[in-house]
């Protein structure tokens, strides 16, 4: 499986929110810092993720983003599709597993 940069960033950002969020919203600048991704770029991705129903936004001083449902129910394919990318399959080398 091969993901584009956009797809990898979206998956990494949602994994970060799953690991660091819980019931509290996670601010995108915090995700950006931890993942080494531009906060502006994450904002573009999260607008798409919100429209796809994968995250919810919370406004205010303690605002940020929360997962819209349990992390175990969110599939990588959903995340990648939400940011308008596709998953490309790659062949394995003979003898590789």
The CATH number of domain 5-82 is 1.10.10.10? yes
| pLDDT for position 89 | 64
Prediction pTM value: 0.84
For residue 2, name the pLDDT band (cuts at 50, 70, 90). Answer: confident
- Alpha-helical segments (H) within the chain: 5-20, 28-35, 39-51, 76-82
- In the chain, where the domains are located: 5-82
Q: What's the token pair of residue 34?
A: 């931890």
The pLDDT of residue 22: 82
Backbone φ, ψ for residue 2 (5° rounding): -130, 125
| Tens digit of each residue's pLDDT (9 = 90 or more) over 18-63 | 999 888 999 999 999 999 999 999 999 999 999 999 999 999 888 9
The answer to whether residue 64 scores a pLDDT higher than 70 is: yes
């Amino acid at each position: 499986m091969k993901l584009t940069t956009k797809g990898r960033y979206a998956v990494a950002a949602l994994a970060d929110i799953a690991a660091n969020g819980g019931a509290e919203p996670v601010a995108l600048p915090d995700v950006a810092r931890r993942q080494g991704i531009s906060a502006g770029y994450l904002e573009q991705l999260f607008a798409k993720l919100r429209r796809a129903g994968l995250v919810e936004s919370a406004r205010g001083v303690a605002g940020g983003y929360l997962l819209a449902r349990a992390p175990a129910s969110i599939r990588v394919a959903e995340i990648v599709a939400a940011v308008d990318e596709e998953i490309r399959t790659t062949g394995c080398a003979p003898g590789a597993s």
